[in-house]
Amino acid sequence: MLQAVQIQPVSFDNLPEFQPDSVEAQVGNTPLLNLRKLADAAGIAPTVDVYAKAEWFNPSGSVKDRPALNIIRSAETLGLLRPGMTLLDSTSGNMGIAYAMLGAARGYKVALALPANASAERIAILRSYGAELVLTDPLEGSDGAIIEARRLAGENPDYFYARQYDNPANWLAHYHTTAPEIWRQTEGRVTHFVAGLGTSGTFTGTTRRLRAFNPGIEAISMQPDSLFNGLEGLKHMPTALKPGIYDEFSADENIEVRTEDAYQMALRMAREAGLFVGVSSAANVVAAFAVAQRLDDGVVVTVLPDNGFKYLSDRFWKQ
């Protein structure tokens, strides 16, 4: 049986600097976009600003570059991951792509368990990077991929099992990078932070650091409204295997979003604002607007985990 392993995080102060022209050095420092045009159409008061971090500017195209890089660097520093080894984890797509990109850059093989209904684009990208894929039952979602990754880790003790759902290096990546960027880009004016729950790393890490800057900042988590949904990468926490890094008490409020509402928002963002985003990004905006609509003033910040290019095969784009 696979034994539980505690992976201790490493301080950013102990990690070596990157070469400025390396792939790794391009992770983070993504733009913060003003969603004013869409906010006006949604009836949000002009004294309320809604901003979103455009995470597709990361080199593999998603927010997952941040935790993937921190998990890998922490494991290297601790001697858990060495050149020539295989990195193993479960993924719904984006984290796997980040692992595969960084693995190719840093000399690691990458083996991934992911649901078979991951978008065709994601699977093609992963195979292009040379990742070994084990496709799991789509009806079991990300939880099925987690169970399969645990099984593979038990059979391959020489693999480094990254455990993105349980590894504190996941949320610490956002504590050390995402939150300070938001604080700096809003000049400390942020009043509300909204993010979806998958591993929960983005929400947990960003919330903890923003509250260190200003304890009065409100944090609102978002999740799908049911177990069976079309929001890839997000978990319906009441019915899911809860990540080890998930802190159910960190949110001031939780908002549930319908898949259909996220699809409609994705279409609106593309056609009315020129922002071609993925469905989890659109779901975050649905939740952020729900928060902003009830405010008289404030600065609401959310995250756009990726753009829409990995979802072009989804039928809703043809509406």
Query: In whole angstroms, what is the distance from residue 116 CA to residue 93 CA?
Result: 10
- Residue 128: active-site member: no
Tell me the β-bridge partners of 307: 277
| Cβ–Cβ < 8 Å for 110, 86 | yes
Structure tokens at 34: 């003003």
- Residue 235: active-site member: no
- Of the residues 90, 119, 280, 281, which is catalytic? 280
Q: CB 19: neighbour CB atoms within 10 A?
A: 9
- Of the residues 53, 60, 62, 64, which is catalytic? 64
- Per residue, the 3-state secondary structure of 94-107, as one string, reads HHHHHHHHHHHHHC
Q: Find the helix or strand (DSSP H, E) in which 110 lies.
A: strand 109-115
Query: In whole angstroms, what is the distance from residue 292 CA to residue 79 CA?
Result: 46
Residue from 304, 71, 51, 52 nearest 176 by CA: 71
CA angle 113, 114, 117 (to 5 degrees): 150
Catalytically active residues are 64, 280
